[in-house]
């Protein structure tokens, strides 16, 4: 049985349920944008302005979701610096349960139909060898630009939460949570780290409304002058006892002070107290993007999986 429509808030917990079941079996098959935390993060921050361009299809075996596709169709993106970008192609997030691997052909057929005539991209993982053969059979090829040394492919990194160091901040800095600091500070911390960005107070309100968000696991570092110098949201999957950092960022004026390192250690201690035994974080994997990877490797994370970016020309 299938079900196709605009993506709705009620779809996200169902899709997260599949993410949890795949994580328990084959975490290396969790594709980009399909993890428990990223589903909530991407939906929450973008649905108010971009939701009318999001199509989804769900595949069920009985009452259980076993595959889904989420198509991002052409849209206009406005950022806090006044810049505007028109996205003219389509991109796909998707997930297929490994016990129903053959459904990937239906996912591809649906995507080709809903994004007909557009340039299309997709992000399976390199571990999903069967799916990669099926994507190739449907005319998708490796995205050479995304895979270049300056490309934007990502890798998923993991570590367990045993043997955690104690975090150390420079004098005058202190840890806060979004619960303590409030929405305005949380939004400004994100914009300071990621500008130019489409993120707004409305985006953050959407994130806060997702069932998976916890303000006590949204951590920040406050500088002596009151600036929120670093921030990260953690998404706790109770079923798998794992926590995902997404996003992680620091104010440009406060980088190279060890703040993100200390903040993530502090976050891992909070996550462990909340029941987590394992943590993940995504970063750009190409050689020209070493900074985040270096931070995470310095914290004991190691690569679990990586994207296999694919593209199909318009037409």
Domain range annotation of the chain: 2-148+308-312, 159-306
**45-72: per-residue pLDDT in tens?**
999 999 999 999 999 999 999 999 999 9
pLDDT above 70 coverage of the chain, percent: 99
The DSSP secondary structure of 157-186, one letter per residue, reads EEEESSSPPPP-PPTT-EEEEHHHH-HHHH
Q: Is the pLDDT of residue 289 over 70?
A: yes
Helices vs strands, H then E, count in the chain:
10, 16
Could you tell me the fold of the domain covering 2-148+308-312?
Aminopeptidase (3.40.630)
What phi and psi values does residue 256 have, to the nearest 5 degrees?
A: 65, 25
User: In which band, very low, low, confident or very high, does the pLDDT at 315 lie, cut at 50, 70 and 90?
Assistant: confident
Question: In 128-258, where does DSSP find H-type helix?
Answer: 129-137, 144-147, 178-181, 183-194, 201-209
* Average pLDDT value for residue range 278-284: 97
Q: Is 163 left (phi over 0), alpha (psi -120 to 50) or beta?
A: left
pLDDT above 90 coverage of the chain, percent: 98
Query: Residue 232's beta-bridge partner residues?
Result: 219, 248
Element (H, E) at 306: strand 302-306
**94-129: per-residue pLDDT in tens?**
999 999 999 999 999 999 999 999 999 999 999 999
Q: Is the pLDDT of residue 2 over 80?
A: no
Answer yes or no: same fold for 2-148+308-312 and 159-306. yes
Tokens of 87: 């996205």
Lowest mean pLDDT among 28-32, 34-38, 220-224: 28-32
* Average pLDDT value for residue range 247-258: 98
User: In which band, very low, low, confident or very high, does the pLDDT at 3 lie, cut at 50, 70 and 90?
Assistant: low
d(CA 38, CA 17): 13
d(CA 91, CA 28): 21
Could you tell me the fold of the domain covering 159-306?
Aminopeptidase (3.40.630)
* pLDDT for 204: 98
* pLDDT for 1: 53
* Average pLDDT value for residue range 203-207: 98
- Rg, C-alpha atoms of the chain: 19
């Amino acid at each position: 049985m299938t079900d196709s429509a605009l993506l709705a808030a009620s779809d996200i917990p169902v899709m997260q349920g599949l993410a949890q079941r795949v994580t328990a079996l084959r975490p290396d098959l969790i594709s980009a944008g399909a993890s428990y935390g990223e589903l909530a993060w991407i939906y929450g921050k973008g649905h108010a302005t971009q939701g009318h361009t999001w199509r989804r299809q769900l595949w069920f075996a009985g009452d259980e979701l076993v595959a889904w596709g989420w198509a991002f169709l052409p849209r206009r993106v406005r950022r806090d610096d006044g810049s505007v970008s028109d996205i003219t192609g389509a991109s796909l997030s998707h997930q297929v349960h490994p016990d129903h691997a053959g459904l990937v052909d239906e996912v591809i057929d649906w995507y080709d139909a809903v994004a007909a005539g557009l340039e299309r991209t997709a992000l399976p993982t390199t571990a999903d060898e069967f799916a990669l053969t099926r994507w190739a059979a449907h005319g998708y090829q490796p995205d050479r630009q995304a895979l270049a040394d300056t490309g934007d492919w990502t890798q998923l990194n993991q570590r367990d939460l045993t043997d955690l160091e104690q975090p150390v901040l420079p004098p005058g800095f202190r840890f806060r949570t979004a619960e303590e600091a409030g929405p305005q500070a949380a939004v400004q911390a994100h914009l300071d780290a990621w500008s130019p960005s489409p993120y707004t107070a409305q985006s953050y309100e959407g994130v806060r409304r997702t069932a998976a968000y916890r303000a006590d696991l949204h951590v920040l570092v406050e500088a002596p002058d009151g600036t929120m110098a670093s921030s990260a949201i953690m998404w706790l999957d109770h079923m798998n006892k794992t926590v995902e950092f997404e996003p992680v960022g620091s104010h440009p004026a406060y980088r190279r002070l060890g703040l993100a390192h200390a903040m993530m250690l502090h976050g891992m201690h909070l996550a462990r107290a909340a029941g987590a035994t394992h943590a993940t974080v995504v970063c750009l994997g190409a050689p020209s993007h070493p900074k985040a990877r270096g931070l995470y490797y310095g914290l004991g994370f190691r690569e679990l999986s990586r994207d296999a970016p694919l593209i199909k020309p318009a037409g």
